[in-house]
Amino acid sequence: MISMTNIVKRFDNKTVLTDVSFRVDRREIFGLLGPSGSGKTTIINILTHQLIPEGGHYDIGATSKETGLMLEEDGLYKRLTTTENLNLFAGIYGVDKSKVSEALHSVGLGNDQKTPVAKLSKGMRQRLALARAILHAPKVLFLDEPTGALDPATARGIHKLILNLRDKGATIFLTTHNMEEAVGLCDNVALLHQGKIVEYGSPNAICEKHNSFKTIPDLGAVFMKMTGVDAQ
């Protein structure tokens, strides 16, 4: 469904993406991993038609109205309430207003429907941005660091939500720094380094190839156990 073939992108004279190619099938969760500055956001910007590459071609198999987007800069209207923010997009997408409340509940903001965005914490704003991205049940969902500012409990809730969206037929493209998240969520991942894809495949296959299996301490589970906070 999503494909990139030999994409090249330059800013001034600096090449930031070199021959980037990958394919994401329908109903797949695909993770793009890489250090800061490796080109992850540039790839999302190209796929969402915000940047034009110098070479190669790409396709996302969905129109702008069938695409959901959550970026690092949330673009929320600070003076408006969470509901008013989503009402705007419900109107644009032609989605019934009842879906707004549903979307807010799904990200754990059901009790903040009348709260102005300016009064939300960073994590709550991130969840609201996710609610906006999924409001119209998009075919393709782009998530740039979807759990970056969230506590473990909320992050797990968001993971469940992402899996649920995939089960309903959405194709999900996400970037993350969190390797546990990539292993737990993604069907396939690509490792991006200095604008080049250096590894591509399922997390298990990649780890097997590099003989890199180990037991990772699950601090998130301890946090949940000690605080008693349910991950939805």
Kindly list the residues in this chain that would bind another protein in the complex (CB under 8 A).
48, 50, 63-65, 67, 69, 71, 73-80, 84, 87-94, 116, 132
Task: Considering the complex, state which of residue 16 and residue 88 has its C-beta at the smaller distance from another protein.
Answer: 88
Question: Residue 115 CB, nearest distance to another protein (Å)?
Answer: 13
Q: Contacts from 98-106 at CB under 8 Å and sequence distance 24+?
A: 99/135, 99/136, 100/135, 103/131, 103/132, 103/134, 103/135, 104/128, 104/131, 106/131, 106/134, 106/161
Question: Residue 41 CB, nearest distance to another protein (Å)?
Answer: 13
C-alpha torsion sign, points 93, 172, 45, 106: positive
Task: Considering the complex, state which of residue 65 and residue 209 has its C-beta at the smaller distance from another protein.
Answer: 65
Task: Give the pair of three-digit tokens for residue 173.
Answer: 């493209």
Question: Residue 222 CB, nearest distance to another protein (Å)?
Answer: 37
In this structure, the number of other CB atoms found within 10 A of the CB of residue 125 comes to 19
Q: Determine the 3-state secondary structure of 37 from DSSP.
A: coil
Question: Residue 146 CB, nearest distance to another protein (Å)?
Answer: 16
C-alpha torsion sign, points 122, 126, 127, 132: positive
CB 93 within 8 A of CB 65: yes
Question: Residue 80 CB, nearest distance to another protein (Å)?
Answer: 6
- DSSP H/E element including 67: strand 67-70
Query: φ and ψ at 17, to 5 degrees?
Result: -135, 130
Task: Considering the complex, state which of residue 29 and residue 133 has its C-beta at the smaller distance from another protein.
Answer: 133
Question: Residue 136 CB, nearest distance to another protein (Å)?
Answer: 8
Task: Considering the complex, state which of residue 26 and residue 78 has its C-beta at the smaller distance from another protein.
Answer: 78
Task: Considering the complex, state which of residue 88 and residue 224 has its C-beta at the smaller distance from another protein.
Answer: 88
Task: Considering the complex, state which of residue 21 and residue 87 has its C-beta at the smaller distance from another protein.
Answer: 87
